[in-house]
Structure 1
């Protein structure tokens, strides 16, 4: 448990995020930071990472106590940091903050995961509608879906980071991670690749984390991390409808796990506008990967 020196370039503060905690969270050389825009496969990746750390299947392994969202503005960040400091096992931390706003150290391992931004948009809509108190976010998702999509396309980048929930904020998160990729400890995953080849992606992650993974354990972790298995765990949880849960139905956190959520909801013209917006911000290669992962096409 060796503490390491890190650097951080800026602050982000928004309805969901406050990065002040990184000033007093003491990073260790074996820390794993899962850093991703919202609704891009974060919980999926947290579950996999934590099961790899435990070396076995642990239902709901990526829960907020064991793999906490460190810079969540609405939680006691100092208490979370102190709790993590007391741990003797390898730690896994969640953040949605662009990488220039979190602690960066060359010894740490950073796992970033992305998803087609339009799928993110519609998944976020369902997520916010499932929240018991969505008063701070529901304005982003008015009843008319195309009006909400226009905001998603046109909203400017601000100091709220991915709290903006716009194309610009997702692209900014992506480009900040790409800037650090040459350092060798920032590893890119994509929701589409996890969906296509879960076994291969878990094996790849185990290799990155330098964790030996026997074939049977790999099979067990693959089965435990299918979408159906994760939803089944949520459906059976005593927290599903608990009064302390922030969601109306905890299982609807895993609403469908599907892609191409825009079909039947947006027009071809809407998607052409999305493509034009991305093309103004990214190279064709980066745009293809952000949309579809290593396959780079539907």
Structure 2
């Protein structure tokens, strides 16, 4: 977050869109990997900022995904400029790809990579890829979807894949690239790391902790209840990140929210390969925190 930001670009995202946004003191940037609790953290921030479980607009309007090419840049800028409440903005860009501002808060949510990968596998089947290609201006229709491998096989392939993390951020190298960058900044007063499993174990405590870090009033029980998985799933039409209709089923976006699924799907050999890959990609203290090793 110093010097020229790294540019991250894919078929439907471009972190360069951050360069045209005028940040405000107090803005909250929610920087996560896909399926790591992004929408959950957006909802938590919405509740802490707006102080009501009845949001005045769909969550994706209140907290737009700035780098997503599905919505024209000018429309996103205009909506953010018109907001008078404290803004909370979504990105899947690592912190080294967004503008640094000591008066802005950056919240990074981490999830066990194997659980993230399981959620990604299911999310891929819920995307309308033809609609996504249309909205992002891709000239050719996407290829017909091929039969998907069993999830256990797909998970092993995900562990073994070794792409450039800067071009495939949802790969294992990309996930740990994102988290490693945030980890080295974690002692800064405006950088806040949150673990998905801590949200599951003590949602109220984590919301109180985050409110204090952000300088916001602590939440009452009704705000904590509104951030639970069941409540969010029941309001999927307004909370799912789908402003342009790219999800086949909004409720399916909130699939289970559980932890430990990925590890349970691997045999001992695959678990050992996973640990070896992680050890080559991230420092031991980050991995201990990420894997909940005590």
Q: Identify the residue that residue 208 of structure 1 maps to in structure 2.
A: 213
Q: Identify the residue that residue 138 of structure 2 maps to in structure 1.
A: none
Q: Hey, what's the Cα distance between the residues in 2 that align with 1:219 and 1:247?
A: 31
Q: How many Å apart are 1:55 and its aligned residue?
A: 1.4
Q: How many Å apart are 1:119 and its aligned residue?
A: 0.3
Residues 97-246 of structure 1 correspond to what in structure 2 (within 5 A)?
A: 97-133=93-129, 142-153=148-159, 154-160=161-167, 162=169, 165-213=170-218, 217-234=219-236, 237=237, 245-246=245-246
Q: How many Å apart are 1:89 and its aligned residue?
A: 1.6
Cα RMSD over matched residues? 2.8
Secondary structure at the aligned position of 1:266 is classed as coil
Which of residues 45, 48, 52 is equivalent to 1:52?
48
Deviations 1:28-52 (A, max 9, x none): 1110000010100000010010111
Q: Hey, what's the Cα distance between the residues in 1 that align with 2:204 and 2:146?
A: 36
Query: Which ranges of structure 1 fall in alignment gaps of 5 or more residues?
Result: 1-5
Query: Which ranges of structure 2 fall in alignment gaps of 5 or more residues?
Result: 134-141
Secondary structure at the aligned position of 1:53 is classed as helix
Secondary structure at the aligned position of 2:96 is classed as helix
Q: Hey, what's the Cα distance between the residues in 1 that align with 2:149 and 2:187?
A: 43
**Contact in 2 for aligned 1:108/1:185 (Cα 8 Å):** yes
Q: Identify the residue that residue 280 of structure 1 maps to in structure 2.
A: 280
Q: Identify the residue that residue 247 of structure 2 maps to in structure 1.
A: 247
Secondary structure at the aligned position of 1:94 is classed as strand
Deviations 1:260-294 (A, max 9, x none): 122553322111111110011222221121223xx
Q: How many Å apart are 1:243 and its aligned residue?
A: 11
Distance 1:264 1:30, change over 3 A: closer
Q: How many Å apart are 1:141 and its aligned residue?
A: 9.1
Distance 1:250 1:188, change over 3 A: same
Distance 1:61 1:127, change over 3 A: farther
Q: Hey, what's the Cα distance between the residues in 2 that align with 1:60 and 1:140?
A: 40
Matched length: 282
Q: How many Å apart are 1:158 and its aligned residue?
A: 4.2
